[in-house]
Structure 1
Amino acid sequence: MRDRFAEAPRPSFRLIPSQFPPIGLFETVTRGADLEAVMELVGWTNDRLVADRIRRLPEAEWVYGAPNSSIVMAAFLHVAPGGMRFNGPDLGAWYAADNLKTAAAEVGHHLRREAVARGVATMARTYRSYSANLAGDYLDIRGEQTLRPDVYDGTSYAASQVLGEEVRSSGGAGILYDSVRLRGGVNIVAHRPRNIRDVVQVDHFEITVSATDRRIDVRKLASRRRPRGNA
């Protein structure tokens, strides 16, 4: 089977819990050495795992000096213990969707899993939405659920993480794939921080899920005054 490549949808969208706001100091940095000092100042290097990931991420890939730089860097340095679909625990990646509906389906799924794990009937969380343009050509595995059933497994990331890390180690931009949570939705994983461009904070949403119901309630919140550096 010959690999296909395609550009990512423009723009793409990502939802991030509002409890993690952007850090303006990242936008003032002009050198990698200064970024190290900023990451130490804000406490990121106090976490041994984060410090290890900083060393794994080539300095040429660090993002700084642009709006929402900290949001991009955080996606690669603050990683779930078991990793995610196309990245292991050693280094993160930027996950995005072709539209906000798909993005909400993805975060809603994980919020529901959290509700089940905590033994609560419902959970609600507020998210910031970001739009971004993703540069590069992405391995396109859309429509390949039959050819790659292990990669599209709804419960195990074992095979998909292997594929994702192979793409990263080969210098690839990332992967374009069908959403497992929303039929017809498209997701992107970007493995190169410098390819994540024009990041703009858009709106705030409250997402509510039930531990026993697949429905996801999404409510757009009234506009808030955004921190300097966000369009």
Structure 2
Amino acid sequence: MVMMSQLAVLAGEQLQAYRLVNSKFPPIALFDDVANADEFEVLYQIQALTNPRLLNEVGSLELISRREIPFGIAGCSYATAPFTHINPAGSRFSAGKFGVLYLAASMETALAEVRYHQDQYWLNVPSLNYERFVFRGLSCTFLDEAMSDAASIAMTDPIYDPVDYTHSRRLGKAVKDAGCPGLRYNSVRMHGDYCWALMTPRPVLSVIQTAHYEMIWNGQITSVNKVSIA
């Protein structure tokens, strides 16, 4: 298995990448309503007095340091949400102990990645014969400076195992523990394209909504369609 010490370090480039979020969850506005951590603390305390849903909306704030939140950027809430709403089941580079912001080099790759995981999830739901899932497309601008680069690692390496994340999670933990801001890697679901696993939202410069997409379930995802533009 590849070790973090074997990976090159990216010099730093401003990039555009893409992700999808489920549209049934409304956007979280609170992180976008302030310019810095002090303003956030004041606004959070005020809203907490009148908004009983606030904790569910912003997530577990203890999971991320305020200095890691890129206050003042467009779409700060989108950049921060993966770190305050963590999937306990984990993901490719996390066992569920910390959040990761996953991005893809193209919307086609983001759709392929999400399509695979939606298929795997809904296969375990009994008696689901038909359903329509709608996702909000996001375009993210970020800097890849100081990120580790696993893109040159062969797809035969166990970090790219399509179903077993044991080795990739070890690498992800090593990257996180080293204070590295992220990892570039090859997409497993769209060969030939890249993805990024950001360990902090700090490198993000902006996140904007692009379009909505639907995935149709008939025992598996049978079609993916763009249903609206931003």
Tell me the CA shift for residue 98 of structure 1: 0.4
Indicate yes or no: 2:203 matched with 1:195.
yes
Whether 1:102 and 2:109 are equivalent positions in the alignment is yes
**Percentage identity across paired residues of the two chains:** 26
Residue 46 (structure 1) shift: 6.1
Computed over aligned residues only, the root mean square deviation of the Cα atoms, in angstroms, reads 2.5
SS at match of 2:136: strand
Tell me if 1:127 matches 2:135.
yes
Deviations for 1:71-113, whole angstroms, at most 9, x for unmatched residues?
1211111111121111231221100100011000111011111
Q: Deviation of residue 146 (structure 1)?
A: 5.2
Residues matched between the structures, number: 217
Q: Quick one: distance in 2 between partners of 1:110 and 1:63?
A: 28
Answer whether contact 2:63 2:84 (CA < 8 A) is retained: no
CA distance in 1, matches of 2:135, 2:74: 18
| Inter-CA distance 147–206: structure 2 relative to 1 (3 Å threshold) | closer
Secondary structure of the structure 2 residue equivalent to 1:201: strand
- Does residue 139 in structure 1 map to residue 144 in structure 2? no
Alpha-carbon shift at residue 207 of structure 1 (Å): 1.9
Alignment pair present for 1:74 and 2:81: yes
Give 3-state SS (helix, strand or coil) of 1:160's partner: helix
Counterpart amino acid of residue 200 in structure 1: I
SS in 2 for 1:117: coil
Match of 1:218 among 213, 224, 228: 224
One-letter code of the match for 2:23? S
Structure 2 equivalent of residue 166 of structure 1: 174
Report the counterpart of residue 21 of structure 1 in structure 2.
26
* Consecutive aligned runs of 4 or more in structure 1 exceeding 4 Å deviation: none
C-alpha contact 1:134 1:190 (8 A) present in aligned 2: no
Q: Which moved more, 1:185-194 or 1:19-28?
A: 19-28
1:31 positional shift: 3.5
Conserved 8 A contact 1:77-1:92: yes
Which of 6, 18, 25 is the equivalent residue of 1:2?
6
Give the residue type in structure 2 aligned to 1:192: T
Q: Which amino acid aligns with 2:119?
A: R
Q: Distance in 2 between matches of 1:66 and 1:3?
A: 30
Quick one: which of 188, 208, 211 aligns to 1:180? 188
Q: Which consecutive residues of structure 1, in runs of 5 or more, have no partner in the other structure?
A: 225-231
Give the residue type in structure 2 aligned to 1:107.
Answer: V
| Separation (CA, whole Å) in 2 of partners of 1:63 and 1:35 | 12
**Contact (CA 8 Å) 1:115, 1:122: kept in 2 or not?**
no
Report if the CA contact (8 A) 1:178-1:184 is conserved.
yes
Distance 1:84 1:107, change over 3 A: same
